[in-house]
Amino acid sequence: MIKLLTVFTFLLSIVAPIQSFVPAVCSRPVQRNSVDSSTAIFYFDDISRRRSSPNSSSIWTPSILDQIHFASSPCTSTPKVPDYGKEKLEQLQKSLFGYDAATARQLTAIEVQAVIQRWLDSVNFDSEFFTLSSDHRSSRNVKVCNGESVIECLSDVWDSIDDSRAKFQTTRSKGKSRSNSYKNDMSSHIELIIFPLCPDMYNYKIVQRTIQELRECYQYCSSFGKEYVVSAFHPNFNNEPRMLSPIRHSPFPCIGLHTRRRTESEEIGPLNEMLTMNSIIHDNIDGNASNKMETVDHERKSLESIFNTEAVTGSYNDATVESIAVDEEVLYFVEQTQHWMTQQCKNENNSALRYCDSIGDRWSVTSSRLEETIYREVWKTILEVLKVKKLQDQKREALDASAILIASNFSLYNAQRFKRIAVSINKSLRNAKCDISMELFHPEFVGQNDAASYFRRSPFPTLQIVICSTTV
């Protein structure tokens, strides 16, 4: 009996501290205004007994749990935290898949440039893209194009191409009088032309085709394709994962205009055999060979000009052109061409000038002898015709629209050289599904039909850009 009492006393000494245990403060429910004050003082183990109590004034339900805030101290009502789920999802999609024309339209040009700069820094672009040891002094420029069509984008690209040609000529002339280190300043330069607002440019196939069309113009240009080339940067570059080529997967569609990198070949898929061979030759020649090729090309053009001098129309030769004052030359070329058109339009069989009545005051003249500038001026004239036609459509006027570009000093004695440029531009227009046609006139024009060729022999190389009302 004494032993039993001793055991019982021992057990009581153990159980007593457990019964006196007090729950932590964090488990104490904090009273809310909408909850009965008597409910707030119960612990979890007392709630079940409270619920079964017949004298309970409030019944415990799951809805009461939503009204109780568990905290270490009483608190007041907290404001609702805003939900940024939609914004976070959009930002995640932009990070993973890039932008599109709709989301890019919400950004300003400065914001687009900031996105591009962050991408360039994140992929370590300068050291990755220019891998030559001599290219350590790299430079870059970012240009945002506001064009919403492929035609507008091409016009901006040729603006940059012609500007780059002028920069390289300036650098070359300064480099002759200075050390070779100055020439290296331009050997690692790139200009990124961004197209955030053009929906078609987000289609990588269209960008790939555009790059191919530009590279086909290498053989017609003096500097483009020899000193600087084009490359594509795209959110879906080569339709491959970004991890395979991070420096090519840009947030927006881009065309990079940069110095030729002699350590690697051109990226866009196979061109025709001739262009491929030209690319291989240019990729493997050194600087001295490149200068020799330019010298040979210049001499060939000079000899070609001398050889064909007697064939050109006598009243419109270089001596006549050079004797005209600069402020009067535009008016002179326009008047001479207008007079020639007026005389030719009297012949009913002349179908080459059937759109001469749609020109209006849209006459422009370029005195450049360089192919890059001719390309630039032609694309600028094409945009002018498109703008005029757009205004006519808004007014519901079914009229033809055209514009004239006179190249007063370009390829006066070589009609084929002028024609090749027109054909390459016409190919881009067809691929862009643009209903624009071109009429070509040249002093030495020779076609399959001698009679029809006579009607196209204008005083100066001339292009007429035409868009018809029946095809719009």
Instruction: Please tell me whether the overall predicted TM-score, pTM, comes out greater than 0.85 for this model.
Output: no
Written as tens digits, the pLDDT of the chain (472 aa) is 666 667 667 666 665 555 554 444 444 444 445 444 444 444 445 555 554 555 555 555 666 666 665 555 555 555 666 666 666 666 666 665 568 888 889 889 999 999 999 999 999 888 778 765 444 466 789 999 999 999 999 999 999 999 988 887 776 665 555 544 444 444 578 899 999 999 999 999 999 999 999 999 999 998 999 888 999 999 999 988 888 889 999 999 999 998 876 444 444 333 343 343 343 333 333 344 444 445 555 555 554 444 444 443 433 444 444 444 455 778 899 999 999 999 888 887 788 888 888 898 899 999 999 999 999 999 999 999 999 888 888 888 777 889 999 999 999 999 999 999 999 999 999 998 888 889 999 999 988 777 778 889 999 999 999 988 754 3
Any domain includes 6: no
- Domain total in the chain: 3
Kindly state whether residues 329 and 264 are assigned to the same domain: no
Give dist(CA 204, CA 268) in Å, integer.
11
Q: Is 1 among the domain residues?
A: no
Verify that 174 and 280 share a domain, yes or no.
yes
Last residue of a domain, one of 51, 77, 103: 77
Domain co-membership, 188 together with 232: yes
**Among 77, 105, 122, residue at a domain's last position:** 77
Q: Is the dihedral of CA 455, 456, 458, 463 positive or negative?
A: positive
If asked whether residues 283 and 338 sit together in one domain, one would say no
Distance CA 257, CA 228 (A): 7
- With residues binned 3-state (H G I as helix, E B as strand, rest as coil), the percentages for the chain, rounded to 5, are 55, 10, 35
Quick check: is 227 in a domain? yes
- Which of 157, 159, 147 has its CA nearest to residue 109? 147
Is residue 278 domain-shared with residue 187, that is, in the same domain?
yes
Tell me, yes or no, whether 367 and 422 share the same domain.
Answer: yes
79 vs 300: CA distance, rounded Å: 80
pLDDT at 371: 94
User: SS3 sequence, 416-442?
Assistant: HHHHHHHHHHHHHHHHCCCCCEEEEEC
Q: How many angstroms separate the CA atoms of 458 and 338, rounded?
A: 10
- Predicted confidence at residue 240, as pLDDT, reads 86
Instruction: Identify whether 308 is part of a domain.
Output: no
Residues 6+ apart with CB under 8 A from 91: none
Range of the domain at 72: 23-77
SS3 452: helix
Q: Among candidates 461, 467, 459, which has minimal Cα distance to 359?
A: 467
Give alpha helix (H) positions in 285-397: 287-307, 318-322, 326-344, 371-394
- Same domain? For 187 and 235 the reply is yes
Q: What is the spatial distance between Cα 266 and Cα 54, in angstroms, rounded to a whole number?
A: 88
Residue 16 lies in a domain: no
pLDDT of residue 322: 44
Statement to judge: residues 114 and 245 lie in one domain? yes
My answer on whether 62 and 100 are in the same domain is no
User: What pLDDT score was predicted for residue 81?
Assistant: 62
N residues, the chain? 472
Distance CA(338)–CA(189), nearest Å, equals 44
Is 91 found in the same domain as 71?
no
The pair of structure tokens assigned to 421 is: 């440029």
Phi-psi region of 137 (alpha: psi -120 to 50; beta: other; left: phi over 0): beta
Residues 196 and 110 in one domain: yes
Query: Using CA of residue 198, residue 203, residue 207, residue 209, what is the dihedral sign?
Result: negative
Name residues whose C-beta falls within 8 Å of residue 350's C-beta, 6 or more positions apart in sequence. Answer: 344, 455
Q: State which of 239, 274, 302 marks the end of a domain.
A: 302
Asked if residue 4 belongs to a domain, the reply is no
H or E segment and range at residue 228: strand 228-233
pLDDT for 275 equals: 41
- In this prediction, residue 393 carries a pLDDT of 80
Please report whether residue 42 resides in a domain.
yes
Residue 228 within a domain: yes
Residues 415 and 288 in one domain: no
